[in-house]
Amino acid sequence: MDVISVIRTKRDRGELSPEQIDWVIDAYTRGEVADEQMSALAMAILLNGMNRAEIARWTAAMIASGERMDFSALSRPTADKHSTGGVGDKITLPLAPLVAACGAAVPQLSGRGLGHTGGTLDKLEAIPGWRALLSNAEMLDVLDSTGAVICAAGDGLAPADRKLYALRDVTGTVEAIPLIASSIMSKKIAEGTGSLVLDVKVGSGAFMKTVEDARELAATMVGLGTDHGVRTVALLTDMSTPLGRTAGNALEVRESVEVLAGGGPADVVELTLALAREMLDAAGLTDADPAKALADGSAMDVWRRMISAQGGDPDAKLPVAREQHVVTAPASGVLTRLDAYGVGVAAWRLGAGRARKEDPVQAGAGVELHAKPGETVTAGQPLLTLHTDTPEKFDYALQALADTYDVAPAGTAYEATPVVRERIA
């Protein structure tokens, strides 16, 4: 086997054999295939695609590059959720303890933000003392004792994917749907969960801008899960407007706690409950009522135990940015648009996100939304509040917001896009 023949096969729109796929993933992981050779293959895949058999084998080869976790000793069925990322997407924070309160075990391996999309681990690290890095034994212990754990994936989980993702990020091949799907699913399958619900975002603030692309990605990942024996379902959810009323780490933790306390923004509550019902159904817990678990405080109890088990103080005050800047409504009327991408870029520029994986983030930075599309605003009233420790960043963030919102005359009809747009199973 040689890498040139593998590249040529896909370059010429051929189908890679199982043996070619197994060899090239193993050889790249070991360093026998050079970065420039793998980047050529990734570009050929981006341009010419892969069929279902190729994607399934590619995913299996990445899983085989590392360890597989085993939760069979747990007394509860396992269910996990993965989001493709968005702006204000704090859903994992209330969702994991909520599903655990209903009887499932939730092993949630999460990531950090990069660019305009926030990261679950960055948000939780705004809580004093909370730890993202757990050994496999610690992860299992937290999961067994509380029912839910949110932590970083260990180095032994799908190392081929970690290496390939870093390469795709710098070679313009991130957008290849076969590689996106196999990247996500290799980690989730290796994680060992019994069932998986995918939250595939679509809209300006999402990676998939069109419903057609989001549907293709969702269907590909559902197929991969099914092929590997994991019960998988996907929801296509809207990301044209930020979720909730905050985008930023500590700001989103605070809003998540409001949801667990029985309040919070309606769209966050709606999506949290929709995903919870899918996870519980996939885990076979069809009689559980997640709405009741929010209302009676049992989800909040799990949250507090989960945060404490990972070294955090659930009663500690969350960081607050030193400086604020208020953006006011330019006219009176109906807010008809608040673009998720613009808000996400503004939050990122204020310090809530990072341009490189090694960059630090500001826990208190971000954007607070005082109105959402469909609501009436008055000229001069606060529309957005920007938060940062570094006020010199305000101008740069304001540039991202320059064409982010529209206000139409009072009485203008507004039709909201549904939070959940489609279900794919």
Residues forming the active site: 82, 161, 168, 183, 187
With 0-12 CB in 10 A as exposed, 13-18 as middle and 19+ as buried, what is 308?
middle
| Torsion angle in degrees (nearest 10) through CA of 377, 381, 383, 388 | -170
The three-state secondary structure class of 195 is: strand
Q: Which two tokens stand for residue 104?
A: 């499932």
* Nearest by Cα to 224 from 405, 56, 27: 56
Question: What's the helix, strand, coil split of the chain in %, to 5?
Answer: 45, 15, 40
Q: What is the CA radius of gyration of the chain?
A: 22
Concatenate the DSSP letters of all residues of 29-51 into one string: HHTSS-HHHHHHHHHHHHHH---
Report CA-CA distances (Å) from 304 to 81, 146, 148, 261, 363. Answer: 20, 9, 11, 12, 20
H-helix or E-strand spanning residue 136: helix 136-146
Q: Which two tokens stand for residue 92?
A: 């994992």
Q: Which two tokens stand for residue 59?
A: 């995913």
